[in-house]
Amino acid sequence: MAYDVNTTTPEGEKRLRRVARICEGFGQRVQYSVFEVTCSPTLFAQLLAKLQDTVDPELDSLRIYPIRSDFKRDVVRMGRCRELPTDRSWTI
């Protein structure tokens, strides 16, 4: 999932923070405005509804690419990696 939120106005700054907060609730940030989300169809529908209420259709852009669940193997990574390994549990 990748988004471009227009931040030339204070409202845009607010939308950007809200979109990021929504995405953090469903997936893992891997770049500044790119998230990887692995969830059920029900949760995905909730995610879409929340994003639809937030994104400005005239000013912003958001794209969600469906990817095979075992995609992690095939992702090509260059440079800094932000994501936490998801193949084991974390104690917070």
Q: What is the binding site for its own copies (CB under 8 A)?
A: 2-4, 30-32, 34, 48, 51-52, 55-67, 71, 74-82
Q: State how far the Cα of 74 lies from the Cα of 58, in Å rounded to an integer.
A: 34
Q: How many Cα atoms are found within 13 Å in the side-chain-facing hemisphere of 33?
A: 15
CB of 47 to its own copies, least distance (A): 10
Q: CB-wise, 53 or 89, nearer to its own copies?
A: 53
Closest CA to 17 of 8, 27, 2, 7: 7
Q: CB-wise, 80 or 88, nearer to its own copies?
A: 80
CB of 37 to its own copies, least distance (A): 11
